[in-house]
Amino acid sequence: MKKILPVLAAFLIGFSSLAQSEISKAYPKEGWTTFMEEFIKKFDYKKPDDFPKSISEIKFKVKFDVESDGSFSEIEVVDDDFNFQNDVVRVFNEMPFWNAAVFEGKPVRSSFTLPITIRLHSKSSEENFFKTEEEITNYKKILKTNKIELENFEFNCNCTLEKSSADEINKTKEFSLTATDRYAFYSIIVIQATSKDIRHYIDWIKQKPEMYNGTYKEIQYKNRKAIEAEHKVPNNDYVYHYRTIFYIEGDYLIGLNVTSFNKQVMNLTYEDLLENFKFKK
């Protein structure tokens, strides 16, 4: 029987709050990792055998408001092809309240969109996806298929841009890209830097274990000091693997993230991204 492996894309949601001063987004009191784990446990997924064999992935979004007291309202499942609405509402009603958004020092009501992906997999996330050197070489070639060229950066990948957004108040740009084979997901964030010292952000990560509940280290990337973080989102015997790098270039803090259902795929994709990513000043 196939296993269901859900992933909640929280990289951009969580990290974008770093750039905010007077405005702070709502977030789970228990932290993103714990919130995701509890959401997954409580969500009554259909059995994989109930899905058509042609479907390998289910994607939908949950839109909701976080009230000033941290409670949830106006919960709505977008693109609800599998009638998850009632169960999602039930799960939110069972979850702890969040820390509300803050504006000018006061808690306020805010809107939130949580993207959720459910993948159907039978392989262990720790097992090598590619078994031979030839398979690895072919995958690396595929990673050069497309050229993504935007105003702020360019790089080669086998991916397409799915979503981009800009926050003029906080000088933040966010980009979400998906591999055409759905093996990996890319997240890129460009923020007006509040400090030229990368250690400032190491301290921030230490103070935010709920957002990055994993390992981190200071490394050299293109002759710059950088922070590299790794964490996993478990689902029974399966996990989604995240690997992220943060570095300063000019007046900007850059965040590059790759997520995959398989650790080997994640590492190969991440290393290729770092090798050919070019930021445009």
pLDDT for res 126: 72
Structure-token match 């720790």, residue found = 126
Contact 3, 121 (CB under 8 A): yes
Which residues lie closer than 8 Å to 32 by C-beta, 6 or more apart? 10, 13, 14, 210, 211, 213
94 burial class (0-12, 13-18, 19+ CB within 10 angstroms)? exposed
Going by C-beta distance under 8 Å and a sequence separation of 6 or more, which residues neighbour residue 107? 68, 69, 70, 100, 101
CB 116 within 8 A of CB 60: yes
pLDDT value, residue 47: 58
| Model pLDDT for residues 244-275, shown as the tens digit of each residue | 999 999 889 999 999 888 889 999 999 999 99
- What strands lie across the sheet with 23-24, from one edge to the other? 23-24, 101-103, 106-108
For residue 240, list its beta bridge partners: 233
Q: Which fold has domain 133-279?
A: Protein Transport Mog1p; Chain A (3.40.1000)
Q: Say if residues 70 and 97 touch (Cβ distance below 8 Å).
A: yes
Residue 168 CB partners (closer than 8 Å, separation 6+)? none
**179-to-43, 153, 157, 161 alpha-carbon distances in Å:** 27, 18, 8, 9
Domain ranges of the chain: 3-121, 133-279
**Per-residue confidence (pLDDT) for residue 5, from 0 to 100:** 46
Min mean pLDDT across 33-37, 55-59, 63-67, 195-199 is at 55-59
The tens digit of pLDDT for each residue in 87-115 reads 899 999 999 999 998 888 899 999 988 87
The whole-angstrom separation of Cα 128 and Cα 266 is 11
- The SS3 assignment for 221 reads strand
